[in-house]
Amino acid sequence: MATLPRVSVVIPCFNATRYIAATVRSVLAQTGVELEVIVVDDGSTDDSAACVAREFPQVRLIRRTNAGVAAARNAGIAAATGDWVAFCDADDIWLPGKLTAQFEVIAASRGCRMSYTAWYVWTSAEPEPDPALLREIEVETDQSAKWTGATGWLYPELLLDCVVWTSTVLMQRSLLDEVGVFDPDLRIGEDYDLWLRTSRVTPIERVARPLALYRQHPASITRTTPRDNYRGRVIQRALATWGLAGPDGRKADATAVRDGLAGSWSDFAYAQLLSGQRNAARRSAREALRIQPGHWRGWKLLLRSWLPDAARAA
C-alpha cells in the first residue's frame, strides 16, 4: 500500500474568532494525504486561540506575541514535520479535493516542487460559504478556460504581477530550506518575494480549477497608508538579483516591467497624497518618473503634490 504524502498546513491567525473554525474544518476535510495542521496565533486579543484549542484538539496550536504574518508563517514552517507544506489564511476556505488535485499536477510535471490553484473571490462576512455558492462554483469549474493562468517556470510572469495566491500554495518542505522562508521585514508582499525566489529553482504548476475561496470582507477597505512601496521593493530586488530572464530562458517584456514598477510607485504616491504626505508623495512620483519618464500618472501626481489643498481636492 502506497504511503500517503504528509502535508503540514500552516494557518497564521490574528483575531479571527469568527472565521477560524470554518477555515480549519475545510482543511481537515482534505483527503488522500496525511495532515498535520498548525495554527499559529499571532498575539490575538480575541479568543481565536481558545477556539482552536477547544474545538480542534488534533490541531497543533502555537501561541506567540504579535510579529506579523510573515513571522507567524515562519514559526509554523519551523514546527512543520511534513515533507510538504501548504498555507491557508485564517479566514479563507479550501474546497474538497484541493491537495489531491495539486499532487496530480505535480506528479505530471518533471521536477515540479510547488503548485498553486485557481481561486474564487468571495465577498462575505459569513463564516461558512452558502451551499448554493459551492454548487455555482462546481458548475463554473467546467468552464476550464476561465480558470487557466500562468503555469510552469513563472519568473517572467511574476515580474509583472503576483499571480500566485498564498492560500492555494503547496510546496516541498525542502524547497523552503533551499530558498529561505518569508521575509519578516516585508509587512506586505512577503509572499510575492518568496514566490519570486521559488520560481528560480522550480516550475510552479497551476491547477486550473477554483479550489479555494479568497475571502474579501465587505468592510475591509484599508485607510492606512503603507510605510513603504513593498511591491516595488520586491520587484526591484528581483531585477537587481536575476534580471528579466527566467531559468528557462524566457524574458519578461522590459517595457511592461518598467510600466508595472512605475505604477507601483505612483500608487504609493497616491496613497501618500491622500493622507497629506505631500513631500513623500512627490518623492514617490519622481521615482515613478525615473523608472518610466513617460508615465503620465506619475506626472499627474507630481503636479497634484504641488497644488494648494483646495485645488488638489477639486
Q: Is the pLDDT of residue 223 over 60?
A: no
Would 151 be classed as within a structural domain?
yes
The answer to whether position 226 is within a domain reads no
Give residue-wise pLDDT tens across range 96-105.
999 999 999 9
Q: Among 170, 192, 216, which residue terminates a domain?
A: 216
Nearest to residue 151, comparing CAs of 121, 112, 95?
A: 112
> What pLDDT is attached to residue 65?
97
3-state secondary structure of 122: strand
Write the burial class of residue 132 (CB in 10 Å: 0-12 exposed, 13-18 middle, 19+ buried): exposed
The tens digit of pLDDT for each residue in 168-204 reads 999 999 999 999 999 999 988 999 999 999 999 999 9
| pLDDT single digits (tens) 287-303 | 999 999 999 999 999 99
Confidence at 221, pLDDT banded by 50, 70, 90:
very low
Same-domain status, 99 and 168: yes
Non-local CB neighbours of 52 within 8 Å, separated by 6+ positions: 13, 20, 21, 24, 39, 41, 59, 61
Which string of DSSP letters, residue by residue, matches 254-309?
HHHHHHHHHHHHHHHHHHHHHTT-HHHHHHHHHHHHHH-TT-HHHHHHHHHHHS-H
Residue 143 in contact with residue 200, Cβ under 8 Å?
no
Q: What's the total number of domains in the chain?
A: 2
**Same-domain pairing of 209 and 263:** no
Q: In the beta sheet, which residues pair with residue 207?
A: 117
> Among 216, 231, 263, which residue terminates a domain?
216
Based on the fold, state whether residues 268 and 207 are members of the same structural domain. Answer: no
pLDDT higher than threshold 50 for residue 225: yes
What's the mean per-residue pLDDT of the chain?
A: 93
Max mean pLDDT among 138-152, 217-231, 274-288 falls in: 274-288
Q: Give yes or no: residues 138 and 13 share one domain.
A: yes
Same domain? For 279 and 174 the reply is no
For residue 223, is it within any domain? Answer: no
* Backbone phi and psi for residue 162, each to the nearest 5 degrees, phi listed first: -80, 90
How sure is the predictor about 143, in pLDDT bands with cuts at 50, 70 and 90?
A: low
Using alpha carbons, list the distances in angstroms from residue 197 to 69, 101, 109, 250, 275.
Answer: 18, 24, 19, 16, 33
Using CA atoms, how far apart are residues 212 and 122, in angstroms rounded to an integer? 10
What pLDDT score was predicted for residue 226? Answer: 80
Q: Are residues 12 and 156 in the same domain?
A: yes
Average pLDDT for 225-239: 92
CATH of the domain at 212: 3.90.550.10
- H helix intervals, the chain: 17-28, 48-55, 69-79, 98-107, 131-141, 155-160, 173-179, 190-198, 230-242, 254-274, 278-291, 296-306, 309-313
Assess if residue 109 is contained within a domain. Answer: yes
Average pLDDT for 145-164: 95
Residue 302 belongs to domain spanning? 253-313
36 within some domain: yes
What pTM, to 2 d.p., does this model score?
A: 0.93
